[in-house]
Amino acid sequence: MIPRSPLVALALLWSCSKPPPQASQRAGPNPPREVLSLLPADHPCRSTVQRLAQLLDSLTVQNGEGPHGPYHRVNAAAEGEFWDRIRYLPPLPGGDDLLASALELVYTRYDDNFWNGFLYHYPYLDSRKAAEIADKLLREYPQSTLTERTLWLKAFVFRVIPPEPDARLEADYPTFAEQVRHRPDSGAAQDVLRLLVQRFPEGRHACAAGFWLAQEDIRLKLLVWPKAGDPRQP
């Protein structure tokens, strides 16, 4: 893919060459256990946050070893409980960190999934659930310092091309089965990227967002095999 015009390419090259600003927006969430420090001992959601922290650990640990190296053993029951708890979590101090952790570390595994192979290592990628979590964070925490990151990940989930159907994998991986039914929405992704550039013109994702907005086709093909490269960044 190439930019639509040389002028766009030159503008993007100039914008990408600028040093990153000292922005108040954060690159990622704080660990759930740090959220506990914000809650008094008698807070009604304290036990829920504790359980979410335990589930997050179990859903991200690399507890298997195979021909491609260490990987995560799928735990559909833990993912189901995690989803039911995180989707109904009421607003609370640090709640945006909990939602961002679910978005980044479970339902996109954006920090690592393309480099290692999303299916083999992190089988919970689910565009529908990721989009719901992103919308919840943006709606309930409009002043969150994780807003830019959330918009970037929301655009990502709209861009993803579903994997090929596979009856065996769909039976073993419930979120994989749902991802097979996912359909990318380039228009929705472009709308989110435009909003990101408008709100954070000098943010850490503004340059890449501008790049993708200049492409004819911004959809992303998921990589199944490990060490296949990373197509997300220009």
Please give the angle made by the CA atoms of 72, 175 and 188, to the nearest 5 degrees: 120
Q: Does residue 2 lie in a domain region?
A: no
230: in domain? no
67 assigned to some structural domain: yes
What pLDDT sits at residue 233?
53
**Helix-then-strand count for the chain, H and E:** 13, 4
What's the pTM?
0.85
pLDDT for position 62: 79
pLDDT number for residue 63: 80
**234 found inside a domain:** no
What is the amino acid identity at position 129?
K
Residue 10 has a pLDDT of 40
| Domain annotation covers residue 1 | no
Nearest by Cα to 68 from 197, 225, 230: 225
Q: What residues of the chain score a pLDDT lower than 50? A: 1-15, 17, 19-23, 114-116, 228, 234
pLDDT for 208 equals 92
| Amino acid in position 140 | E
Contact by Cβ (8 Å): 204, 25: yes
Q: Is residue 141 part of a domain?
A: yes
The pLDDT value given to residue 6: 45
Neighbouring C-alpha atoms within 13 Å toward the C-beta of 191:
5
Distance between alpha carbon 160 and the CA centroid of its chain, in Å?
11
pLDDT for position 42:
95
pLDDT tens for 130-141 read 999 999 999 999
By residue range, what is the domain housing residue 182?
7-17+26-221
Number of domains in the chain: 1
Asked whether residue 188 is domain-assigned, the answer is: yes
Q: Looking at residue 97, what is its pLDDT?
A: 97
Which of 155, 112, 160, 108 lies closest to 135, judged by CA?
155
